[in-house]
Chain A
Amino acid sequence: MTPARSAALRLTLAVAGGIIALSLLAMAVQYRTTAAALHEQQRGVLAADVAAFAAFYDQRRIIALREAIEYRAATTPPETALFLLQGKAGEVLAGNIGRWPDDLPALAGEVSMDGARAFRLDARPYLGVARVLPGGFPLLIAQGQGQTEAVLAGLRRSIAGVALALVVLALLAGLAVSRTVLGRIDRLNGLADRVAAGDLGARLPGVRRADEFGQLERHVHQMLDRIQNLNRATHRLSDAIAHELRTPLNRILQKLDRSPGGDEVRAEMRAAIRIFDSLLDISGAEAASADAPGLVPVDLSEVVREVAELYEPMAEDKGLGWHLDAAEGLWVLGDRNLVAQLVSNLLDNAIKFCAPGDAIATSLAPGGERHSLAVRDTGPGLPEDIDDLAFERFVRGERDRAVAGHGLGLALVQAIATRHGARLTRPPVQKGFAITIAWPKVAPPNVLQDDP
């Protein structure tokens, strides 16, 4: 798995994204509160100034106002505050700037905070009150907002910086978490793959850590131990059943042997033993497929040819068409006897169910990854009432009650195919039964010596 598609990375990033959004929201609220408080403070300072000037104006009108402004203007630079009192013709009576700011309309009225507004002069922000006092004297009292703006700009910069740092940290943390998590999950996935491939004894090396992953690994190991024990128990059980049941059956057979005329009973006994053997074969093949496979290279071509040769005369005697098309030198990892039994069961079934005039075709062809063994006939095919169930134990069609058998042949075919990691499919056919088994291929052994 690549980190980009990792659930751990996505989760970490989602959580980090959420935290970043919340932090930004909190900072935005903080910013607005700060900005509002600063503006309020500036307004308060302005209001105090305006109140003071209003007091002078109330006492002695323009003259007092002019003195007060001259005094303040001398001690205050224009960045901090603006003071300007003009005469009727627009001449400067007092103030720390030489002209009236552009685009700043002045309201007629007394000296008060009414209509206080923000404006800019020489690119500096101000909050001020512009008036035309009775008699035509324009008056401007303003507080510079430069410091407040600088504080707020600094605040904005630091918020942006923090946000950027958070995003970078979140990405790094996400990558680190997903790497760690992925690494440990990959180990578990690898273990699961090995077990699925048949190695029930596979375990993760090293000590388990005391975290969730360690716990998960411990649980998986406990499960595998349990499966392995059950598997061993199954093996022991089937051996024990074999022994415990065969011994009394053997005694019965020996006793029958010594008494005259038990032939029918003996035939029945043999049939029962055959079912018993088939069941053990099926469960044996099934159990083995879950365990470490003990398979060797087998010449599939040769086995198919030999078993086909064994059955050909039987098909001929029954008047069935017989076609064999087996490519040479195709090898698989397998148990020769089981492979032979699989082919034998398929051909046996085909011959059993076909009527004279039908044909049976067996083919073995090489493929990219798998060799494909196909057996098809033009017989009656699977009865509709069973279909895929045909591969279950003891399933037989109602139609076929008259034909000998116990419904174990295809179950064994399935079990043996599974044992060999072979895929079993039933291609659709117009008439009859067809089955294809795809065997994982192996290279033929290098040294092939013919005995003279």
Chain B
Amino acid sequence: MTDPLRILIVEDDPETADALALAVRDLGADPVIMRNFADGLQAAGLAKFAVVVMDRMLPGGDGVDAIAKMRVAGSRALILVVSALGRAANKIEGLEKGADDYLAKPFDGDELRARLRALLRRNTMAVLDNDMLAFGDLEIRLQARTLHVGRQHVPLSPKEFKLITFFARNAGEVVTRMQLLENVWNLHFDPQTNVVDVHVGRLRRKLEAVAGRAVIHTERGEGYVFAPDRQGA
């Protein structure tokens, strides 16, 4: 790739901005940091960014209000809001106002990277959005809502199908429990217990029984990775 992806970071707290920049570099993208609302808005209009990471309580305004202005100015960047306004109601408000994802401060580096990866991936997924997602002998048909391993059909519940689809769209990347809750169950709160693990565990056992190998791997700490071709757990 001759032109590395650029990610705009609009964040007034230097420590957080550094952490965000570090995560962006980890993903092989170039961070551009702006410290306030007006500069962030101006920067978004000047260059093409893959993702904009936006704080909310910025000097000069609420980052969520910048989203509509950026869209009007023609920016098609995906927007990740990272804010201390981290309650479910705040998240839903942000998503309704056009944010593509919403992460509450304080955040884990892993969680941030997982979400950034998912957004970057969505940029490329849009083009190859067809009916079938295939990984070696594992095939997911979106219209028919079926999963096949080789020639064998794997019966799945509707939720399990949603789960595997979300995994498949983020294949090879870490997917966190919060991401699964938000995208598969549409729940924007953190349950006391790791109720998601039970669901992933069941799906994983189903797939392993048919495929004869691990398809969903547990990532130390924060989440899971869907990697049908990877060896070992």
CA distance A405 to B109 in the complex (A): 25
Given contacts A263-B221, A274-B190, A340-B187, contact A254 B18 (CB under 8 A): yes
Given contacts A257-B19, A311-B195, contact A337 B84 (CB under 8 A): no
Interface residues of A in 246-285 (CB under 8 A from B): 246-247, 249-254, 257-258, 263, 266, 269-270, 273-274, 277, 280-281, 284
Q: Is A348 an interface residue (CB 8 A)?
A: yes
* Size category of the binding interface on chain A: 35 or more
Q: Is A323 an interface residue (CB 8 A)?
A: no
Closest-CB distance, A58 to chain B (whole angstroms): 119
Closest-CB distance, B21 to chain A (whole angstroms): 11
Given contacts A317-B198, A348-B195, A352-B193, contact A239 B85 (CB under 8 A): yes
A338 touches B88 (CB 8 A): yes
B15 touches A344 (CB 8 A): no
Closest-CB distance, A360 to chain B (whole angstroms): 14
A306 touches B185 (CB 8 A): yes
A243 touches B57 (CB 8 A): yes
Residue-wise interface mask of B (65-107) relative to A, using a CB-CB cutoff of 8 A (1 in contact, 0 not): 0000000000000000000111111001000000000001111
* Size category of the binding interface on chain B: 20 to 34
A-chain residues with CB within 8 Å of residue B106 when the two chains form the complex: 246, 249-250, 252-253, 269, 273
Q: How many A-B residue contacts, CB cutoff 8 Å?
A: 103
Residue-wise interface mask of B (96-134) relative to A, using a CB-CB cutoff of 8 A (1 in contact, 0 not): 000000001111110000000000000000000000000
Q: Is A7 an interface residue (CB 8 A)?
A: no
Closest-CB distance, B211 to chain A (whole angstroms): 21
CA distance A442 to B111 in the complex (A): 39
Closest-CB distance, B138 to chain A (whole angstroms): 23
Closest-CB distance, B83 to chain A (whole angstroms): 9
A254 touches B198 (CB 8 A): no
Q: Is A404 an interface residue (CB 8 A)?
A: yes
A-chain residues with CB within 8 Å of residue B25 when the two chains form the complex: none
Per a CB cutoff under 8 Å, which of A317, A337, A340, A404 touches B192?
Answer: A404
Q: List 28 A-B contacts (CB under 8 A).
A: A239-B85, A242-B84, A242-B87, A249-B105, A249-B106, A250-B16, A250-B105, A250-B107, A251-B13, A253-B106, A270-B108, A274-B190, A277-B87, A281-B88, A310-B199, A311-B195, A313-B198, A314-B195, A314-B198, A317-B198, A335-B89, A337-B189, A340-B187, A341-B187, A344-B187, A348-B191, A348-B195, A352-B192
Beyond known contacts A247-B13, A309-B159, A338-B88: 17 more, CB 8 A cutoff: A239-B85, A242-B84, A242-B86, A247-B84, A247-B105, A250-B19, A253-B106, A257-B19, A274-B190, A277-B86, A277-B104, A337-B92, A337-B187, A341-B189, A344-B187, A352-B192, A352-B193
